Chain A
Amino acid sequence: ETGVTQSPTHLIKTRGQQVTLRCSSQSGHNTVSWYQQALGQGPQFIFQYYREEENGRGNFPPRFSGLQFPNYSSELNVNALELDDSALYLCASSLGFAGGKEETQYFGPGTRLLVL
């Protein structure tokens, strides 16, 4: 197993609510990427944070926002939840621009979000 952790493991919300998901990166990793994985599909890139700055964003609306903290842990915030936001949310950490095997991503176990 990787050293990447996520909380909570499961979450149930209702439409219109807001949610915050958390990710602790593997020790020494300064880059965190967030993905949304709908049932039966591959993960879709939401955004990436490198040293507390957003470093790229996928095709997701502004109600998906994030933060990265000085210890490189990260949060994903989703406002005005919609039914289609129900999915597994994965974070992945990597070394970023440090060189060597910087591209290898290590995924956390995910947070399963259900929006009713």
Chain B
Amino acid sequence: GENVEQHPSTLSVQEGDSAVIKCTYSDSASNYFPWYKQELGKRPQLIIDIRSNVGEKKDQRIAVTLNKTAKHFSLHITETQPEDSAVYFCAASTLAGNAGKSTFGDGTTLTVKP
């Protein structure tokens, strides 16, 4: 089955700096890669996603890049703010009938210091 590894497990940055979180996956059939933000005691919330036919996607301060050959994808947050502090999870799934069957990484705890 699919295996997703996420690094680093913790990340601390100063407000205004950039943060980068990296994930690798093992199943070359995976073609959908969402990123979730989970604040303490709350549900995971989708912040951005990318499909395998796209190499990069951006939404304001957040961007995701995908390298299918190397089987890795990354989350980039620019101009970080204290409210960006949370646990971030990457996930990989194979669409074509299995929309929700995602394999998650173990998460990165991001702390943005004011």
CA–CA, A102 to B101, complex, Å? 12
CA distance A40 to B43 in the complex (A): 14
Q: Check if A104 is an interface residue, CB within 8 A of chain B.
A: yes
**How many positions in chain B have a CB within 8 Å of any CB in the partner chain?**
27
Contact, CB under 8 Å: A42 / B107: yes
What distance in Å separates the Cβ of B68 from its nearest Cβ neighbour in chain A? 17
Check if B78 is an interface residue, CB within 8 A of chain A. no
Contact A55:B45 (CB < 8 A) given known A41-B106, A42-B107: no
**A64 interface residue, CB < 8 Å from B?**
no
B53 interfacial by beta-carbon distance below 8 Å: no
Number of interface residues of A (CB under 8 A): 32
Interface residues of B in 1-47 (CB under 8 A from A): 1, 4, 6, 32, 34, 36, 42-46
A42 to B49, CA, bound (A): 17
Report whether B43 and A102 are in contact in the complex, using a CB–CB cutoff of 8 Å: no
Q: Considering the chains assembled together, what is the distance between the CA atoms of A110 and B38 in angstroms?
A: 12
- Report which A residues bind B (CB closer than 8 A): 2, 31-33, 35, 40-45, 48, 55-56, 58-59, 90, 92-97, 102-110
